[in-house]
Amino acid sequence: MAWIINAKAAQNLRNYKYVGSDNSLLYKYLLSPFAQYCVDTFVPSWMAPNVITLMGLLIEVFTLCVVMFYCPQFAGDENTPRWIYLLIAASLLTYQTLDNMDGKQARKTGSSSPLGLIFDHGCDAVNAGVGALLSCTLFAIPAADTAAVLLACSLTSVPFYWATWEEYHLHALVLPWVNGPSEGVFGGALCGVLTFFVGPTWWHQTIYGVPLYLVPQLACVFGWIVTIAVQTANVCKHVARGARNKLGAIHPALSDLLPFVYLVYLGCAWLRDNPDLMARCPHLALALLFLLTAEAEIALMVAHCSGTRFTCWRPVLTPLAALWANTGIFKSPPVDPFYALLAYFIAASIYFAFFVSRVVIEVKDALGIHAFSIKPRLPKTKQGAPLEAKAKAD
């Protein structure tokens, strides 16, 4: 039974053609050639591209688990083992390399497909949250400084959602000459090496009263503000082109941003009203928000590849209002905020696992391919038709 991909969507998936480019000079002259070398030298032809993508994500998740053990409140101290920061730097570069390798492996094996694009994007969506949590440790941001933590988290979540939204409407992904997947990740790894040498407390110095850990965050925020402004203008121009009622054409496109705006507004309000949660379990609280964001981003990418309309109302986001109201409206919370968070996180995780599994199963079935192995190609006749098709015709 198809829950997500109907017959029309399946046909659109089979006709889908990817359009995109990365204009980063770092990617062009260093990251891409290195990834190609790794694929040509180390990756066997039988390995599916999605396996490479998944390996990168699992490495990042493992790193996060280690970091959570040593730095449960993000900010380390002089007793924090310095190798933690080298581990973060290494995991960032490893994920970046494997993420660049999967597409090259797909071209090498002739197994490029919309499933690979959706799977890659889904792993990137999850990793955007994992990377944000790692960056909070990287810059030794105290969990008690909720505003700074949320600012750091915005550096991955905001540009990623906007880029997905732009690709959905423009049907192409064009990364600028400076972007997060290339320069952003590489810069984060360099900061990890820096923290290894100077120690986490170095970031707690102030410049004119501003903590040093805020300086790179503020610089990056300026960059993504400019980026999303350009992306918004591009989408509005594209959807309004040729339309009689330009505002009427723009409105549906802008409405696709509502799930993210809703999530950011209520998420920030909820954490503001619950400072104890950030002190007690900052990773869990932020992981919930990133999980909800990833679900919407994956749904947006599925809609893009299948040529269907993105559904703005995401059922999994609805309980967030109740989570906020529990402490934002009632002076005495009816439910303990921690247990409310834990229950929501468990339920959202189960829903997310079901949603992702259905996406993978239904897309691979629609395309007639495997998710984690390369389907053998049928030998062709002299006329170029597969033998199986020729036998059926006979």
Q: Catalytic pick from 121, 169, 283, 304?
A: 121
Q: DSSP alpha helices (H): ranges in 28-145?
A: 32-42, 49-70, 83-109, 114-138
**212 and 204 in contact (C-beta within 8 Å)?**
yes
The CA–CA distances, whole Å, from 54 to 34, 207, 245 equal 19, 41, 44
Check if 283 is active-site.
no
Burial class (CB in 10 A: 0-12, 13-18, 19+), 41: exposed
Distance CA 164, CA 170 (A): 10
What is the 8-class DSSP label of residue 375?
A: P
C-alpha to C-alpha distance for 193 and 89, rounded to whole angstroms: 7
Characterize the bridge pairing of strands 173-175 and 206-207.
unpaired
Residue keyed to tokens 């360099």: 190
| DSSP-derived secondary structure letter, 380 | B
Catalytic residues, which ones? 121
